[in-house]
Amino acid sequence: MFGVMALGALVLSPPVFAAGSGAAKMEPANNVLGNVRSLQRGARNFVNYCMGCHSAKYVRYNRLADDLQLSEQQVTDNLMFVGEKLLDTMDIAMDPLDAGRWFGQVPPDLSLIARAKGTDYVFNYLKGFYLDPDRRNGTDNLFLPGASMPHVLWELQGLQKPVYEAIIDANGDVHKIMAGFEQVTEGLLNTEEYDQFVRDLTNFLEYISEPVKLERQKLGVRVLLFLLVFFLFSYLLKQEYWKDIK
């Protein structure tokens, strides 16, 4: 009972800040690639909240339909912009030069981001925006200091501000380090719902970074099942061959 409660506290606690070093620890993303419903939600979140700025130009819509077990009609209605075709890739219309001017950085294509930086990073990055009045867009990110991406999910997560703690080092100098976040405005989602929203997005980004992984996992299970059945038959066969030779 207490074990369960302790675990609950662990899961629900705000980001853990490594004492002293100033570097924040990452929570595990815990996304499950084989969870097709989560991938479907992640795709929807990606189209609605990210494709204003980011493309995923190695992903074709018809492939999404197959892998995410959606009908072509569902993909057309929910995941595609007007005028796009199923054979198109998830590209966007933004001119990189404009994007550079607006944000200071061109929003990168996200096809491979989960493989490049890891799912835990993506998950924590999307939870790590906090208010910083010194920044042009009003926020910074704990995991990408100086990030030029605005906190596009602020309505869902709400806004959080850092809480600082003073520490004294060996020389007696006082340093201000970030000790955690404090919620300033409530979001439309509570903490668990927001985590799930971001986990689904992370799951989708992992899937698009290596679509064959999904197939490989399914194939792996089939191969194991085959081996199991094969073993059974070879065992029975062996019994049959040896039954007279005792």
**Residue ranges that bind ligand HEC, judged by CB under 6 A:** 49-50, 52-54, 103, 105, 107-108, 110, 113, 117, 122, 125-126, 144, 147-150, 152-153, 201
* Residue keyed to tokens 């075709």: 85
Least separation, in Å, of the C-beta of 225 and ligand HEC?
A: 36
Residue 69 and residue 36: Cα distance in Å, rounded? 8
Nearest approach in angstroms of CB 99 to ligand HEC is: 7
The residue at minimum Cβ distance from ligand HEC is 50
Q: What would you measure as the largest C-alpha separation in the chain, in angstroms?
A: 87
Distance of closest approach, residue 113 Cβ to ligand HEC, in angstroms = 5
Q: Provide, rounded to whole angstroms, the least separation between the CB of residue 165 and ligand HEC.
A: 26
Q: Which is nearer to ligand HEC, 86 or 152 (CB)?
A: 152
Which residue matches tokens 């929203």? Answer: 197
In the complex, least distance from residue 93 CB atom to ligand HEC, rounded to whole angstroms: 13
Tokens 């790590």 map to which residue? 128
How many C-beta atoms surround the C-beta of residue 172 within 10 A?
Answer: 6
Environment class of 10 (CB within 10 Å of its CB; exposed 0-12, middle 13-18, buried 19+):
exposed
Q: How far is Cα 12 from Cα 55, in angstroms, rounded to an integer?
A: 32
58 or 103, CB closer to ligand HEC? 103
Contacts 24+ apart (CB under 8 A), 65-71: 67/39, 67/207, 67/211, 67/214, 68/36, 68/39, 68/40, 68/43, 69/36, 69/40, 70/40
Q: Which is nearer to ligand HEC, 115 or 213 (CB)?
A: 115
Q: Which is nearer to ligand HEC, 44 or 161 (CB)?
A: 44
Query: Considering beta carbons, is residue 156 or 177 the nearer one to ligand HEC?
Result: 156
Q: Which of 16, 224, 207 is nearest to 112 (CA)?
A: 207
Q: How far is the CB of 197 from ligand HEC (least distance, A)?
A: 9
Do residues 148 and 105 make contact, with C-beta atoms less than 8 angstroms apart?
yes
Q: Which is nearer to ligand HEC, 116 or 225 (CB)?
A: 116
Minimum distance between the CB of residue 52 and ligand HEC, rounded to whole angstroms?
A: 4
Q: What does residue 131 show for φ and ψ, rounded to 5 degrees?
A: -65, 135
Shorter beta-carbon distance to ligand HEC: residue 89 or 167: 89
